Amino acid sequence: MKNLYIDFDGVILDTITPVYNLAKKLNLDVKTQTKEIGLLYSKIDWETLIEESEELSDSIKSIKELRESKKFNISILTHINSLKEAKAKIEFINNLFEDLTIIPVPKSVSKTKMTQTKDAILVDDYSGNLREWEKEGGIGVKFSKNEIDEHFKTINKLNQIMELF
């Protein structure tokens, strides 16, 4: 059974768009004002944000299918900016799945430092995380609703992993 790590934001739920919209309303530039954006992330009501965020590409059903296939040891590997964010994500996943590991990773720490990456698969929407993952011997798979990444295998639905591995 292969280890499969799935990112949360931008793969399971679209929590990124509402945060970026809020940043725009506050006249914050997400690319240059990283300290201010980090502070914004720590002040967000994560329970409400998660409740109101759109599920991406039938991700919950896809995770259930992946679990039923018994081909993967699945964990959710997610960057967090606060303990409130971690708690909300853990509660969300625990309400949907029994016995699914969730690994919250402080934003300042690489996801590669929290798990065994060798030959493990990471599905993530952020290429930077995938580059780090592959550098440490893992297999990076890009999740994108509509674009193909020339550097990584790309999927737009989580259950497509079964076709790749």
Question: What are the pLDDT digits (tens) for 20-58?
Answer: 898 889 898 888 888 888 888 888 999 999 999 999 999
Report residue 146's pLDDT band, with 50, 70 and 90 as the boundaries.
confident
Q: What is the mean pLDDT of residues 130-152?
A: 92
Domain ranges (residues) in the chain:
2-14+54-164, 16-52
Instruction: Assign domain 2-14+54-164 to a CATH class.
Output: alpha beta
Q: Which residue has the higher pLDDT, 53 or 150?
A: 53
pLDDT of residue 32: 85
Averaged pLDDT of the chain: 94
Predicted confidence (pLDDT) at residue 149 exceeds the cutoff of 80 = no
pLDDT of residue 160: 96
SS3 letters for the chain?
Answer: CEEEEECCECCCEECHHHHHHHHHHCCCCCCCCHHHHHHHHHHCCHHHHHHHCEECCCHHHHHHHHHHHCCEEEEEEEEECCHHHHHHHHHHHHHHCCCCEEEEEECCCCHHHCCCCCCCEEEECCHHHHHHHHHCCCEEEEECCCCCCCCCEEECCHHHHHHHC
pLDDT tens profile 93-124: 999 999 999 999 999 999 999 999 999 999 99
Question: Comparing 64-68, 76-80, 97-101, 146-150, which segment has the lowest mean pLDDT?
Answer: 146-150
pLDDT of residue 42: 83
